[in-house]
Chain A
Amino acid sequence: MPAQTFASAAAVEDEEEDYLTMTFEEPTPTTKKETLTQKKKRLAREAEERSRPKSKAQLAEEERTKREAALNTANVDKSSKGFKMMAALGYKPGSALGKEIASTGEPDKRLLEPIGLDMKEDRSGIGADSEKKRRFRDEIEKQGETIKRQKVDADEFRVRQQKEREEKRYEGQFYGAMKVAEGLEEDANVNGSAPSAKSRPLSRYNVLWRGLVKQRLLNEREKRLRYDMDQSLSRLPTYDDPDEEREDKIALSRKAQTEEVGFELDEEDQELEEFEALEPSQKLEKLVMYMREQWHYCFWCKSTYPSAEMEGCPGTTEEDHD
């Protein structure tokens, strides 16, 4: 049964192969002699093509190109009798006729080439042709520019897209790393005796993950503000009425804390700003390195090593862990 199946499959395969590799013989007219009628027909066709009256536009175009060609060809045939006669009088090719104007310092205006012919074929006024040409040129240039821009755009777009994608990925990884780092630090603090996270001012967090903390605090504050706003009766929670008594404040359930944290959050933090300005990949790299040094933790292996040598970790970068 399997053998049979194989055989039939092979047969099918053979058939298919035959079909695919089948060569079509190119018609080779050079080797094949054309018949008398064919030749007759071909000659007739060619003659007809030759004798077919050309359209006026074709003729005009032909005339123009031939004329231009002739006009642009210098006609200094050194074997011509005209040239020989002039050479006998001391004429050198490339020089002008007439008397040399000696030392007047004026530009020599003597002709070296005949004056060209400019055919005027319509009644457009002076400047109209060049105006038309200028417009045409502008148009072409503009078109060229758009095409170029479009082309550049497509490339740029691809590059940008890719970069954006990568940055997003790095940002994601960085966010993850920050969380890990914060956790690691907390673990270390629990073991040791560091101030509790709650009372810790923002600037005491390592800049490497301070962004995460700040963002969290900001989120918290907003949540709180929202909550306060929902709770408050008539005024904005931040509204500070100088005439209001402290007791009233309490009565109106104001929290002094809010102001405290909020104050710090609104402060300028140059260190953080500088760090945030870095490329996501760089931020990530810095954080990863910090964690390795501090806690022998490899972000890519997702594990803590017992020693500083971190034996078993293939390297510091993501690629090393592929």
Chain B
Amino acid sequence: MAGKHSDYSEGGPAKRQKTTEMDPKDNPYLAHWNENGDDGFHSNGVSHAPSPLSKLQRHQTTVKTAVDAENGKYNPFTGQAFSKRYLSILKTRKDLPVHAQRQEFLDMYQKSQILVFVGETGSGKTTQIPQFVLFDDLPQHDGKMVACTQPRRVAAMSVAERVANEMDVKLGEEVGYSIRFEDMTSSKTILKYMTDGMLLREAMNDHELTRYSTIILDEAHERTLATDVLMAMLKELTLRRPDLKLIVMSATLDAQKFQRYFNDAPLLAVPGRTHPVEIFYTPEPEKDYLEAALRTVLQIHATEAEGDILLFLTGEEEIEDAVRKIKLESDEMIREADAGPMAVYALYGSLPPAQQQRIFEPAPPPRRPGGRPGRKCIVSTNIAETSLTIDGIVYVVDPGFSKQKVYNPRIRVESLLVSPISKASAQQRAGRAGRTRPGKCFRLYTEAAFKKELIEQTYPEILKSNLSNTVLELKKLGIDDLVHFDLMDPPAPETLMRALEELNYLACLDDDGNLTVLGRMASEFPLDPALAVMLVSSPEFFCSNEILSLTALLSVPQVFVRPNSARKRADEMKNLFAHPDGDHLTLLNVYHAFKGEEAQKNPKQWCHDHFLSLRALQSADNVRLQLKRIMEREEVALMSTPFEDKSYYENIRRALVSGFFMQVAKRDANGKTYTTVKDNQPVLLHPSTVLGQESEWVVYNEFVLTSKNYIRTVTGVRGEWLLDIAPGYYDIDSFPKGEMKTALTRLKERIERRAKMKGGR
């Protein structure tokens, strides 16, 4: 029998021990430690003028010196002559609201270590403030950097690109970005946009964040898990590092909460450019918010003056459906009522970037000169609420719902559920209508419902998440007292308890709550602990190559494409890859086929023919490569069982159990439904599964909470493996009397009988 988790808590194999005292030289996160001190001017082999900034003292500059440098002939950061484009962009930049308060900002920044900055979307804070900081912080002088965090990868990338253009530098040189699985920075980088999660990962390896002179937490009002942890961590770090400056930027006016949290830090507010928005409520609650939304959009199109429409809905499927219906109806309105043309676009996170860009296209012109003006209608998830700014929106339709992550430690389900938004969210949505001129917001609920049914603020993510990953990170950050850790909104005690318990079962924490060798290794992977543990343990099952691929596939969006128009065909294609033992193995088959010679000749065509998402597969490929590097660094051996070996698939399934033994369901006596182990929730296999009803025990990747409980991405396993691989979790004495206990007892007896027979022979 292959090894068990307890091996790790007792020290683990020698070759892995090494990683705990890894030489910082080999750690890519610490690459900056090895750089030679630069004079602040990154040599790039081109002759350049002396920088006007080189003689300035940190935190003693004035707006004048900065403006002079900006208006100069040569780029003070590269020494090269400014391009024409730079000058034209500079002009528009000066019109941004933040510029009016540059002096004020500089004064406060120089005076205070922590600063809370409030600027509504459109004030230019995300692009301009970091540049203001550069001219005063002068990180290049002592080889440091300014970091600006973003909750979303796309934002980090696009803002970095924009700012690189504004500063007339090449993206990835002076200005770069760093997101999970992609690092676009170099030794020259002085301003780095990054996801908050990435900064957290860096902090895990360098508790003092020594490479940064200033850290800007942008979009702090979104209260992502990583931002919340960063705030708590930086609150402590600023005490240890008086030279480190911290700016917390928020787009909403509840900034007092941030101020209080950071020991009454000074606050600077910059008004955004907004126009009044008239708000309309429905007289009666709506029976069907989607239908009401469509009706309202068409009504606006028929009766209201020129101006674009933004409709907030909850998810991809709903949005695509709405887009289709609005298109049909508005076409009919053109034919029958001579309405203006209307372009309808969908907008949601998983949309390919090229399609996301289409929302910025101008509204269509009138169909004939002098005809009724055209408009565009954008149907979006709540990403258009704060993060994406679309100009030209005059009408907002707000049904009052969004898909929100929820987690409850009592049934251990993390899921996305459609829930009512908060009052703050509703205000934010309404504000979107007043970006270019006075607008209107149509709320599809009554005013009484707004007052009574909506909560004040959206719950921060940390209160609605499984914290096992966060706890692992905090442990790695060197924070041991998790109970008194000064989070802005500490989670419920049960949530922490569950996280600690899970990590203990995964052998990432020992019974005293200390990181084990396995836990330390797992924390190196930007993955959920269960996935990380599965990956790290996979060599024991002689299938680390396959588990590596599988982990990558489970970290990307859905690989299978199933368009409404060709469901049957898509299912047929999927069946080509189906493995009778389950969805994980099917995914693996897809990946292997994708990497095959035939597919690689023309991957695009091949994916199209087989109803697969090229983007997802390519992204899985990339993730796999990044994870492989970490495995190599951590010295996790890469190996495979020969394909001809009959235990090839069995090994993979066993490895699955090593990570997912807490996500197991057992078939009920009726042979149709399943029940999850320990939490005893009745579930059904998701209709997308390739698995029949023949497996008594299954591991699942995801518990989908809808009107029915489904488990998705399911693979059958043998009950004996559970007892063998995770004896701590499947401790029969810990189970209450019932079907589950009986089944496990029977399994145990069978194992013992077999062992006896073997012994007798």
**Chain A interface (Cβ within 8 Å of chain B)?**
50-54, 59-60, 62-63, 66-67, 70-76, 80-86, 88-91, 93, 95-99, 104, 109-128, 130-131
Contacts and interface: CB of A to CB of B under 8 A. Distances in A.
Contacts of B391: none
B81 interface: no
A173 to B, nearest CB: 64
B338 interface: no
B660 interface: no
Contact of A50 (B454, B492, B497, B670): B670
B711 to A, nearest CB: 12
Given A120-B419, A128-B286, A131-B285, A60 B490 contact: no
B116 interface: no
Contacts of B284: 131
Interface stretch (B211-219, B303-311, B498-506): B498-506
Contacts of B512: 85, 88
A118 B500 CA distance: 26
Contacts of A113: 492, 494
Nearest to A121: B707
A155 to B, nearest CB: 40
B410 A51 contact: no
Given A53-B672, A81-B504, A74 B453 contact: no
Interface in B271-299: 282, 284-292
A85 B513 contact: yes
Contacts of B485: 97-98
A62 B682 contact: yes
B483 to A, nearest CB: 4
B500 A81 contact: yes
Nearest to B288: A123
A66 B285 contact: no
Contacts of A131: 284-285
B183 to A, nearest CB: 33
Contact of A125 (B444, B491, B499, B682): B444
Nearest to B449: A127
A76 B286 CA distance: 40
B682 A83 contact: no
Interface in B498-557: 498-501, 504, 509, 511-513
Given A82-B497, A104-B260, A120-B418, 17 more contacts: A52-B670, A59-B682, A76-B494, A97-B484, A97-B485, A98-B485, A98-B486, A114-B409, A115-B408, A117-B705, A124-B289, A125-B288, A125-B289, A128-B285, A128-B287, A130-B285, A131-B284
Interface string B307-349: 0000000000000000000000000000000000000000000
B448 interface: yes
Contacts of B496: 82, 86, 97
Contacts of A126: 285-286, 289, 399-401, 420, 444-445, 449-450, 453-454
Contacts of A50: 669-670
Contact of A63 (B494, B501, B709): B709
B701 interface: no
Interface in B687-726: 705, 707-709
Interface centre among A67, A109, A123 (most CB of B within 10 A): A123
A131 to B, nearest CB: 5
9 contacts: A67-B411, A82-B504, A86-B500, A88-B512, A112-B492, A113-B492, A114-B463, A125-B285, A126-B285
B650 to A, nearest CB: 30
B417 interface: yes
Given A115-B459, A119-B705, A54 B670 contact: yes
A54 to B, nearest CB: 7
Contact of B494 (A53, A84, A114): A114
Contacts of B501: 80-82
Contact of B287 (A70, A81, A125): A125
A215 B289 CA distance: 75
Interface of B: 260, 282, 284-292, 399-401, 406-411, 413, 417-420, 444-446, 448-450, 452-454, 459, 463-464, 480-487, 489-501, 504, 509, 511-513, 669-673, 679-682, 684, 705, 707-709
B449 A112 contact: no
Contacts of A97: 482-485, 487, 490-493, 496
B493 A89 contact: no
A126 B285 CA distance: 7
B420 A96 contact: no
A219 to B, nearest CB: 66
A111 B491 contact: yes
Contact of B498 (A75, A84, A88): A75
Contacts of B290: 123
Given A88-B513, A123-B288, A126-B445, A114 B483 contact: no
A161 B452 CA distance: 50
A53 to B, nearest CB: 6
Nearest to B509: A85
B669 A96 contact: no
Contacts of A88: 512-513
B399 A125 contact: yes
A85 B490 contact: no
Contacts of A93: 493
Contacts of B513: 85, 88-89
Contacts of A119: 417, 705, 707
B465 to A, nearest CB: 11
Contacts of B504: 81-82, 85
A99 B406 contact: no
A217 B504 CA distance: 106
A52 to B, nearest CB: 7
B287 A112 contact: no
Contacts of A67: 411, 681, 709
A249 to B, nearest CB: 77
B653 to A, nearest CB: 28
Contact of B417 (A82, A112, A118): A118
B418 to A, nearest CB: 5
B233 to A, nearest CB: 14
Nearest to A114: B492
B200 to A, nearest CB: 18
A115 B464 contact: yes
Contacts of A82: 496-501, 504
A75 B406 contact: no
A117 B673 CA distance: 23
A90 to B, nearest CB: 6
B602 to A, nearest CB: 42
A75 to B, nearest CB: 5
Contacts of B260: 104
B484 A89 contact: yes
Nearest to A128: B285
Given A85-B509, A86-B483, A51 B671 contact: yes
A112 B511 CA distance: 24
A124 B399 CA distance: 10
Interface centre among A54, A66, A73, A126 (most CB of B within 10 A): A126
A126 B450 CA distance: 8
A97 B500 CA distance: 14
A120 B417 contact: yes
A51 B682 contact: no
Interface centre among B410, B419, B482, B511 (most CB of A within 10 A): B410
Minimum-distance CB pairs A-B, first 6: A127-B449, A98-B490, A125-B286, A82-B501, A97-B490, A127-B285
A51 B673 CA distance: 10
B419 A110 contact: no
B500 to A, nearest CB: 4
Given A71-B408, A82-B500, A127-B285, A66 B682 contact: yes
